[in-house]
Amino acid sequence: MAVATQSAQAQGESDSARRLRISEIFHSLQGESDSVGWPTVFVRLTGCPLRCSWCDTAYAFHGGQWLGIDEIVDKVAVHAARHVCVTGGEPLAQKRCLELLESLCERGLEVSLETSGALDISRVDARVRRVVDFKPPGSGEVARNLWSNVQHLRARDQVKFVIGDRNDYDWSVERIREHELADRCAVLFSPVQGQLEPAVLAEWILADRLPVRFQLQLHKILWGNQPGR
């Protein structure tokens, strides 16, 4: 009996350790990346070590609820969507995020990860499509970029630059050339909503004949900047 009790206790402790703090889980359309437009379940993890000037998910910095990995995967499955995106905040700030990504892949889902590029991506499951958001000067977090991540990029990954002004644009162009990013994976340029006119960024890209993909945030066009969208 004592052995059985100890075993049950150990199992309970194991289940407790495999938890993540979750801000929200919701079903929407993917608004960015090469999966734009696909019905997608978003798993937004709580917490972020960065404080970008134009962050649109500051509500995810704190709060949320602790959920076990199996519970999270079951909540994702309820929506019967093939695509799932793990985002934040900064999801990799929670070490169990790697286990969550693996568990979602094991379910046969198309899994993507949205990460700031400030944390190491080398241990992320190879089946996961990684969208790495490097931070230009206007973000206020340019010093946090972890450029060693570049060597871990694969062809199916994507690099994103959110552009607030011409200085951000010029800086991003230099980083693309310096690290030969367009030869490694797709490169995405997005304007900061309400700060840089999309048409202006589009004209810069065309004038410089950049090998990048211009994108707007589809979900904001449809619903505005609402949590759960």
- The Cα–Cα gap between 222 and 37 comes to 11
Mean pLDDT in residue range 74-92:
97
Residues 162, 139: Cα–Cα separation, whole Å: 8
Task: Please state, in angstroms and rounded to a whole number, the distance separating the CA atoms of residues 92 and 102.
Answer: 13
pLDDT at 147: 98
Q: pLDDT at position 5, please?
A: 46
Enter the tokens of residue 113.
């990860």
pLDDT digits (tens, 9 = 90+) for 179-225: 999 999 999 999 999 999 999 999 999 999 999 999 998 878 887 77
Tell me the average pLDDT across 36-42: 95
Domains in the chain, CATH or no CATH each: 18-223 (3.20.20.70)
| Contact yes or no for 175/169 (Cβ under 8 A) | no
Asked if residue 7 has pLDDT above 50, the reply is no
State residue 102 phi and psi, 5-degree precision.
Answer: -65, -40
Closest residue by Cα to residue 128 from 106, 161, 95, 147: 106
DSSP string, the chain: -HHHHHHHHHHHHHHHHSEEEEEEEEEEE--SGGGTTSEEEEEEES--S---TT-S-GGGSS--EEEEHHHHHHHHHTT--SEEEEESS-GGGSTTHHHHHHHHHHTT-EEEEEE-SSS--TTS-TTSEEEEEE--GGGT-GGG--GGGGGG--TT-EEEEEE-SHHHHHHHHHHHHHHTGGGTSEEEEEEPTTTS-HHHHHHHHHHHT-S-EE---HHHHHH-S-TT-
pLDDT of residue 15: 56
pLDDT confidence bin for 14, thresholds 50/70/90: low
Average pLDDT over residues 53-72: 95
159 pLDDT more than 80: yes
Q: Is the predicted pLDDT of residue 4 greater than 60, yes or no?
A: no
By C-alpha distance, which of 147, 143, 167 is closest to 159?
A: 147
